[in-house]
Amino acid sequence: MKITFAKPGLPSTGVVVVSAGTGSKLSASAVKLDKKSGGALSRAIRASNFEGKKGQSLNVMALAGTKLDEVMIVGLGKAGDITELEMQHLGGLIYAGTKQAKKGSVTVAVDEISDAKMTAAGIATEIAYGAQLRSYRFDKYKTKQKAVDKPSIKFLTLQCAGFANARKRYAALGKIADGVFMTRDLVSEPGNVIYPDTLAKQAKTLEKLGVKVQVLGEAQMKKLGMGALLGVGQGSARESKLVVMQWNGGPKGKGAGKGNAAQPIAFVGKGVTFDTGGISLKPRDGLDILKIDMGGSGAVIGLMKALAGRKAQVNVVGVIGCVENMPDGNAQRPGDIVTSMSGQTIEVIDTDAEGRLVLADALHYTNQRFKPKFMVNLATLTGAIMVALAHHNAGLFSNNDQLAERLTQAGLEVDETLWRMPLGEAYDKMIDSKIADMKNLAGRLGGSITAAQFLQRHVDNTPWAHIDISGIWAETDTPTVPEGATGFGVRLLDRLVKNHYES
Ligand code: MN
Ligand code: ZN
């Protein structure tokens, strides 16, 4: 779908979207259309339940007195309802309501709304962004799809005063949407397509945007002493990889080290491209969805794409640990003891608690090599976080209140919300092992927390946050996120960067 911005002026054909506020108070463009139709539009509204509330809409076909195919009238609600997020939701609603437009083009007439905090250009920008986010589909493997089953919308035009300004603002948002789409693609792809090597190759595609990408194989990781990460992948026929992405859009200079203007920020992702559980094999039902266990790394790649795409003025490192967790004659056994890059020993109680093993080495490596301002890792780490929070929040764990607050706030701003969970000594004690420095599983109780404690043992005193994103697969459509891979994390972390870390 191509998105364009243009000056106001209702088209005479095709599909037009106009708006009304609470009490069906018609916007200026809607009033014009109503006059043209000899009052047919307001008659249609009176004949329906449409009241102009947010979330409401009414589609009128072949409006009398016009040559239009369809008019969609959408509710804006009260002036106070007109926020960035609500306008994105409205964009999603408009997309869903007009995607079958027969002639393929839809025009949205965005008027200035008195008392609203946003200008028409601002509203148009957010509507466009929401529509774009909603338009995502993963249908590349459906070879027999009929045209009629696919959205026919090709062009979305937003008309508003200050359209050039809206176009400029949208440019950056479009790049963020590109990042979100890449993450959704990576997460949607099955395990026979995305495995450590191909995931690394996907990261490599960011080089054309100016991202430096380095891929470490098993021999290099062995030299570095990454026994925790390597143990997880040793049962797989696919070679494990560690991918380091660097976007240097910020101040130049020696990057690593405290107080240096060029000191980078870092994002780390769990990239278990398929998680069978290993020898601690998972039950068969629903096993197919474990292709999403690389969602954390998918989000980090998508984030790097978004940041590089919009040329964010920040130095940022993205590191992803990519492994496949398979049962095999060479697979890690429950009870094995491995040594992580930090030198700490780990008793592997359960080979299905593998994500923390991968992240332990990825976090330690990132911290040691880049000495970043902070590290945020994303991981589909525990089912327990969904028991606690369902799909409505991701779990947030942090050793730093400021970082936690900034993340929480960014989440609220972009609709990727986080709920902070506790860390503490009593929980930390739960992962003490009788025969090694720690064990990788403490049992069912507090399962998400003890997983986070495990990670914390590998970050030293660097400000760090762990986001448990196990709920990243949506069962139903929401306004800006169609069912399937949500792309969670890209918008959140992009906003964190934008709010606090761009020079
Ligand atoms: Mn697992
Ligand atoms: Zn896993």
Decide if pLDDT at 489 tops 90. yes
Cα 112 to Cα 28: distance, rounded to the nearest angstrom: 8
Instruction: Report how far ligand 1's centroid is from the alpha carbon of 173 (Å).
Output: 34
- What pLDDT, on a 0 to 100 scale, did the predictor assign at position 503? 81
Tokens of 358: 């991968």
Q: Which residue has the tokens 């998680």?
A: 275
Q: Could you give the count of Cα atoms lying within 13 Å of 435 in the half-sphere of its Cβ?
A: 7
- What pLDDT, on a 0 to 100 scale, did the predictor assign at position 261? 83
Decide if pLDDT at 168 tops 90. yes
Of all ligands present, the nearest one to the C-alpha of 279 is 1
Q: Which residues contact 164 (CB under 8 A, 6 or more apart)?
A: 5
Cα 499 to Cα 502: distance, rounded to the nearest angstrom: 7
Q: What percent of the chain has pLDDT over 70?
A: 99
Which tens digit of pLDDT belongs to each residue from 148-166?
889 999 999 999 999 999 9
Decide if pLDDT at 89 tops 70. yes
Summary mean pLDDT of the chain: 97
- What pLDDT, on a 0 to 100 scale, did the predictor assign at position 254? 72
The conformation of residue 111, written as its DSSP 8-state character, comes to -
Q: Which residues of 87-105 are buried (b: 16+ CB within 10 A; e: fewer)?
A: bbbbbbbbbbbbbebeeeb
- What pLDDT, on a 0 to 100 scale, did the predictor assign at position 255? 67
Decide if pLDDT at 147 tops 70. yes
Instruction: Report how far ligand 1's centroid is from the alpha carbon of 352 (Å).
Output: 4
Tokens of 269: 């992702």
Q: Which residues contact 146 (CB under 8 A, 6 or more apart)?
A: none
Say whether 282 is catalytic.
Answer: yes
**CB-based contact 21:115 (threshold 8 Å):** no
In the chain, count of helices (H) and strands (E)?
Answer: 15, 20
Which tens digit of pLDDT belongs to each residue from 409-449?
999 999 999 999 999 999 999 999 999 999 999 989 999 99
Distances (CA, A) of 420 to 98, 385, 389: 38, 11, 11
Q: Which residues contact 18 (CB under 8 A, 6 or more apart)?
A: 26, 27, 29, 30, 33, 71, 72, 73, 74, 109
Instruction: Report how far ligand 1's centroid is from the alpha carbon of 123 (Å).
Output: 43
Q: Which of 356, 457, 491, 495 is catalytic?
A: 356
Beta-ladder partners of 247? 316
Cα 359 to Cα 310: distance, rounded to the nearest angstrom: 28
H or E stretch at 12: none
Q: Which residues contact 83 (CB under 8 A, 6 or more apart)?
A: 117, 118
Decide if pLDDT at 37 tops 70. yes
**CB-based contact 73:57 (threshold 8 Å):** yes
Mean per-residue pLDDT, 207-235: 98
Cα 344 to Cα 3: distance, rounded to the nearest angstrom: 52
- Is the overall model pTM greater than 0.95, yes or no? yes
Say whether 238 is catalytic.
Answer: no
Decide if pLDDT at 109 tops 70. yes
Q: Which of 204, 282, 369, 371 is catalytic?
A: 282
